[in-house]
A and B are shown apart, each in its own frame.
Chain A
């Protein structure tokens, strides 16, 4: 079972977009997960609700919002609509809540008193974060990144709204499958693409599960 040039292109675009979208949201996602893991600060519930928004809104609405903010009529004067970058942003935005949630759980499971211990031993606050908290939260964060990437690869509504389905630049795998399903006789091709998507998702889930096991096997220092 081999793929035609158009299919390979859609697959390559999907992978490229998924990696780029994860790269874009990686640092903000981990950072937001970290500050949301800090208990009891003013405004925390509000920030939490805002970052979870893309998870509960219909993806098309997310895409439309991106179009309004970063498209032709952007109040910031930025127009990236219908480009490969747009597809990455759309994928990143819908994957971000998953990354934040996993990152938050990772940091919450790190005993904050370890950072205290580190400070009494001479480590500055930031140093303690990078040497103690971050490595201990890393497996959970890794899981979050994979989830984010998988989610981004599967995104349809936000991508088609904000990035269009331009072959060669923004027609990702889900978009191509959709297009094939619109046309009578597109079944066979659609089926091939569906199988490939499923295989990629399974690989992502397997890696995520392996990381989850690493998280579980960490003893001590965790609550």
Chain B
């Protein structure tokens, strides 16, 4: 891709030194890491707000930073848009004026801005002032502002962290829309795995002051058996029925029941189930209130922090978390047949955009 971002940096933060090197050419890359690991610092360095102590940053053929030759392009010339965690809208300007701030003169730019406003459903808010907006609205405006600038790269710094779960679910589809519609490469930072898996094609992981990746979620997960990366099950599903408070979904050959609220119009959704909310049984069950009972075979048992992560083939790959004791008691090992038990309320749904 002719906007490949590659960097090889050393950043000082406090008394720590962060080493980060990667080449990014996927449409959307996620950067995962615990709070305080330096993800924001890395984004700011790429955007040009801080200078690395040494290294090189380059987009396609253009060198943005090179400590050897002394090149350091100022942020206003890099055309890399950064959406901050706290939005940072200009309080003395209306929403419209905020959005237009990075646009050049001319009809092409205006058209782009209009498209962005449409896509992010901001038309009713254009004349409002930032202090009258809700958290979700502010983030959408911040996103629009960054897009209207027609950047070469879009950096998102924990764009959903300040929002509650309900809002997160509502904004995520917008991010997906942005990725699919504008074709601007995205680097999306978050400490929430679920958020990243839904929008990113590939992942980077920043931990212990070192950057690893890009790689797929599964690879990353299983390489990091310390349990630092949250294990998550994410599946795409089609909606079969949606009535009386229950949604019946089909993921490939697997069927799931969820009590999540879903718009009756929706035909597809992303399913997210936390491994810690899955129980396993090897015996017969009798009467039990759990709605999802799925048969599967154990493929592998991974040590996972203080417990175990059991990989199961149930026509889809499912990860379940179990204590070491339970693993032993149930005799969970490769080849064992188990029944996966998931409460309908543990099946979370996300819109696809």
Contacts and interface: CB of A to CB of B under 8 A. Distances in A.
Interface of A: 111, 113-114, 116-125, 132, 135-136, 218-222
Contacts of B131: 219-220
Contacts of B74: 119, 124-125
B43 to A, nearest CB: 10
A122 B92 contact: no
A122 B79 contact: yes
Contact of B102 (A116, A122, A124): A122
Interface stretch (B23-31, B81-89, B207-215, B339-347): B81-89
A98 to B, nearest CB: 25
Most interface-central of A111, A119, A121 (chain B CB within 10 A): A121
A122 B76 contact: yes
A122 B152 CA distance: 12
B49 A121 contact: no
B130 interface: yes
Interface residues of B, number: 24
A136 B91 contact: yes
Contact of A114 (B47, B49, B79, B90): B90
Given A113-B84, A120-B75, A121-B81, A221 B92 contact: yes
14 contacts: A113-B88, A120-B80, A120-B82, A122-B79, A122-B101, A122-B149, A125-B76, A218-B91, A218-B92, A219-B91, A219-B131, A221-B88, A221-B92, A221-B130
B145 interface: yes
Secondary structure of the B contact surface, majority rule = loop
Interface in B125-152: 130-131, 145-146, 149
Contacts of B48: 119-120
Nearest to A138: B92
A120 B47 contact: yes
A28 B47 CA distance: 33
Contacts of A220: 89, 91, 130-131
Interface in B38-84: 47-49, 74-76, 78-82, 84
Contacts of A120: 47-49, 75-76, 78, 80-82
A117 B88 contact: yes
Contacts of B102: 121-122
A222 B91 contact: yes
Nearest to B133: A220
B155 to A, nearest CB: 8
A124 B78 CA distance: 12
A217 to B, nearest CB: 9
A218 to B, nearest CB: 6
Contact of A121 (B91, B92, B130, B145): B145
Interface in B174-196: none
Nearest to A119: B75
A218 B130 CA distance: 11
Nearest to A116: B49
Interface string B151-163: 0000000000000
A55 B81 CA distance: 46
Given A113-B84, A120-B81, A219-B131, A136 B149 contact: no
A221 B49 contact: no
Nearest to B74: A119
Q: Would you list the 10 A-B pairs with minimal beta carbon distance, nearest first? A: A221-B91, A121-B102, A219-B131, A220-B91, A117-B88, A119-B75, A120-B82, A220-B131, A122-B102, A119-B76
Given A114-B88, A119-B76, A218-B91, 14 more contacts: A111-B88, A117-B82, A117-B84, A118-B90, A120-B49, A121-B76, A122-B76, A122-B79, A122-B101, A136-B91, A219-B131, A221-B88, A221-B91, A222-B91
A125 B131 CA distance: 25
B104 to A, nearest CB: 8
Given A113-B84, A219-B131, A220-B131, A121 B89 contact: no
Contacts of B91: 136, 218-222
A121 B146 contact: yes
Interface in B82-112: 82, 84, 88-92, 101-102
Contacts of B90: 114, 117-118, 132, 221
